[in-house]
């Protein structure tokens, strides 16, 4: 059966996540305008910086639990990388939809708001209520999409 757009782009985000170099969580993101991909991103170290796969996880070595102290990480989040990649290649993100394997964190939510993204469709929860509040306050549609087409 032919997948709908949300399912299709979330499947692509999962494939993009397979490029992740994070030892804790593999996340992928796909930015879309008018059903066309404008950029992708996965979580990993910035260009020219050694990846966690090579040097280990800084957050693990410091005993930092998931969801805390985001700034103490070698990696750039998938959502950030998708927005950065669009900017790097001169592609406007205003009016785009972001498909992501996981709900964005508060840092990514702020970037999503300022990038002019109008909708975020994600496949798995990430406990960051502040991020959800920011996205809703900015008028960005937030959709949890489970496999099989169930929208929550």
- At 152, the pLDDT band (50, 70, 90 cuts) reads low
Task: Tell me the Cα Rg of the chain.
Answer: 15
What is the distance between the alpha carbons of residues 21 and 76, in angstroms, rounded to a whole number? 10
| pLDDT tens-digit map of 101-115 | 999 999 999 999 999
| Whole-angstrom distance, CA of residue 14 vs CA of residue 99 | 10
Query: Is 108 within any annotated ligand binding site?
Result: yes
pLDDT digits (tens, 9 = 90+) for 124-147: 998 889 999 999 999 999 999 986
- For the chain, the average pLDDT equals 92
What pLDDT shows up at residue 147?
A: 66
CA separation for the pair 117, 125 (Å, rounded):
19
Under DSSP, the state recorded for 34 is T
Q: Which of 85, 79, 81 is nearest to 101 (CA)?
A: 79
Instruction: Give catalytic residues, as residue numbers.
Output: 79
Q: What per-residue confidence (pLDDT) applies to 148?
A: 58
Which pLDDT does position 52 carry in this prediction? 86
Q: pLDDT-derived band of residue 78, with 50, 70 and 90 as boundaries?
A: very high
Query: Are 28 and 42 a contacting pair, CB within 8 Å?
Result: yes
- Supply the pTM of this predicted model: 0.92
Strand partners for 120: 98, 142
Give the SS3 label for residue 27. Answer: coil
Domain ranges of the chain: 5-43+76-144
Q: Does 22 belong to an annotated binding site?
A: no
Place 69 in a pLDDT band, splitting at 50, 70 and 90.
Answer: confident
Q: Binding residue per annotation — 77?
A: yes
Instruction: Write down the CATH superfamily of domain 5-43+76-144.
Output: Cytidine Deaminase, domain 2 (3.40.140.10)
Concatenated DSSP letters for 39-51?
EEEE-BPPTTS--
Three-class DSSP category at 97: strand
Q: Residue 151: is its pLDDT beyond 80?
A: no
Residue-wise pLDDT for 7-20, tens only, equals 999 999 999 999 99
């Amino acid at each position: 059966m032919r997948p709908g757009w949300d399912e299709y782009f979330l499947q692509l985000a999962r494939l993009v996540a397979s490029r992740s170099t994070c030892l804790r969580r593999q996340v992928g993101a796909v930015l879309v305008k008018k059903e066309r991909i404008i950029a992708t991103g996965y979580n990993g170290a910035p260009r020219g910086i050694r990846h966690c796969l090579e040097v280990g996880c800084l957050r693990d070595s410091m005993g930092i639990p998931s969801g805390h102290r985001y700034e103490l990480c070698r990696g750039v989040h998938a959502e950030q990388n998708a927005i950065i990649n669009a900017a790097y290649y001169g592609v406007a993100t205003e009016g785009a939809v972001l498909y992501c394997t996981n709900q964005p964190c508060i840092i990514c939510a702020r970037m999503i708001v300022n990038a002019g993204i109008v909708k975020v469709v994600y496949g798995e929860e990430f406990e960051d209520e502040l991020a959800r509040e920011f996205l809703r306050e900015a008028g960005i549609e937030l959709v949890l999409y489970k496999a099989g087409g169930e929208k929550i």
